[in-house]
Amino acid sequence: MAILVFVESAEGKIKATSIEAVAYAYQLGDAVTAIALGDVEKSELEGLGKYGAKKVLHAADAKLNQPVIQAYTNVLIKAMEDEAADILVLANSSLGTPVAAKVAVKTGASLASNVVSLPDKSAGFAVKKSIYTGKAFAWVELTNPKKVIAIRKNAVDIKEVSGNAAVTPYTVQLSDSDFAVKTLSTEKATGEILLPEANIVVSGGRGMKGPEHWSILEDLAKALNAATGCSKPVSDMGWRPHHEHVGQTGVKVAPQLYIAVGISGAIQHLAGVNSSKCIVVINKDPEAPFFKAADYGIVGDAFEIIPKLTEAIKAVK
């Protein structure tokens, strides 16, 4: 069973969510070929072999540096044909999800997005996916010969299984119609670690009382090598940039650890974090709704707890 994995990149580096897609594909079947589009460092492509890719196709045409959905779709369809791949695996992301949908429509493939585990092949090919913003799960049977699977972060554990992959240049014919939509400008989120890729996220809410107090959260995040986030009211008031807004209408995250400080836990915020492996809530209000969703909770003053927690982490490291 041949499997193609579309890997996304940023500034020449493969995204962590795409490395997970390769690991997922390897556990699904061992004939895994990855494909990367645009400018990506060769060492990054070779490194995909550690997670199960036997070969990596690199379509390095400079036109593909911009993530144009139509162009990406056509390249992936051609690669599936050339590799005789019946399954396409990719990350469930702002780019991966629309690309997955277009590929499925054009190839007549069965599509499943937000997939959270490996398929059950005991009686067909069924996948478990997250629905209703993570409040429930559904099993979906993929019946068509071709299948497109967009996996949610943390769907599988990432393990090194092999050595470097062979990187093969992949030439594609691109037409003007592939680029009918043009990107005029791009505003990138700032920060050492970006929210969608973070394994640990430290978020603050109105309980932080103002932007001038955010340094203690940033110190904690730095100690944990974590990204920083915030609740919607915080970004609306201008305390933090909007790209840090975590929630149903903001960035949805699925880290290994999510630390919520001074956030009450409105349902819109919970919808953006309920895929986290472990949630820790710190709030001085013992009745805060967030405690009901927490794996661990600390009732107390964040301005006393966070500095002590940061120092304890530094001491352990």
CA 138 – CA 115 distance, rounded (Å) = 9
> What class is the 2-179 domain?
alpha beta
Average pLDDT, the chain: 93
For the segment 228-241, what is each residue's pLDDT rounded down to a tens digit? 999 999 999 999 99
> Using an 8 Å Cβ cutoff, are 35 and 5 in contact?
yes
Domains 2-179 and 195-316 share a fold: yes
Element (H, E) at 283: strand 278-283
For the segment 100-115, what is each residue's pLDDT rounded down to a tens digit? 999 999 999 999 999 9
> Binning pLDDT at 50, 70 and 90, where does residue 190 land?
low
Check the CA dihedral 158-163-164-168 and report its sign. negative
> Binning pLDDT at 50, 70 and 90, where does residue 186 land?
low
Backbone angles phi, psi at 148, to 5 degrees: -120, 125
Q: Which long-range contacts (CB under 8 A, 24 or more apart) does 140-144 make?
A: 140/112, 142/110, 142/111, 142/112, 143/110, 144/108, 144/109, 144/110
Q: How remote is the C-alpha of 161 from its chain's centroid?
A: 21
CA 88 – CA 150 distance, rounded (Å) = 8
pLDDT computed for residue 135 by the predictor: 76
Q: Is the pLDDT score of 223 beyond 80?
A: yes
Q: Is 153 helix (H, G, I), strand (E, B) or coil?
A: coil
CATH superfamily, with its number, for domain 195-316: TPP-binding domain (3.40.50.1220)
Q: Where are the domains of the chain?
A: 2-179, 195-316
CA 290 – CA 47 distance, rounded (Å) = 39
Mean pLDDT throughout 107-136? 92
Q: Point out which residues pair with 138 in neighbouring strands.
A: 129
pLDDT computed for residue 183 by the predictor: 74
> Using an 8 Å Cβ cutoff, are 89 and 28 in contact?
yes
For the segment 40-60, what is each residue's pLDDT rounded down to a tens digit? 999 999 999 999 999 999 999
Strand 13-14 and strand 9-10: pairing? antiparallel
For the beta carbon of residue 51, count every other beta carbon within 10 angstroms: 25
For the segment 156-175, what is each residue's pLDDT rounded down to a tens digit? 888 899 889 999 999 988 88
Strand 296-299 and strand 2-7: pairing? unpaired
Please work out, in degrees rounded to the nearest 5, the angle formed at the alpha carbon of residue 121 by the alpha carbons of 76 and 88. 5
> Binning pLDDT at 50, 70 and 90, where does residue 191 land?
low
> Using an 8 Å Cβ cutoff, are 146 and 109 in contact?
yes
pLDDT computed for residue 180 by the predictor: 80
> Binning pLDDT at 50, 70 and 90, where does residue 189 land?
low
CA 119 – CA 128 distance, rounded (Å) = 7
Instruction: Judge residue 181's burial from the number of C-beta atoms within 10 Å of its C-beta, 0-12 exposed, 13-18 middle, 19 or more buried.
Output: exposed
> Binning pLDDT at 50, 70 and 90, where does residue 187 land?
low
For the segment 292-303, what is each residue's pLDDT rounded down to a tens digit? 999 999 999 999
For the CA atoms of 273, 274, 275, 277, what is the dihedral angle to 10 degrees? 90
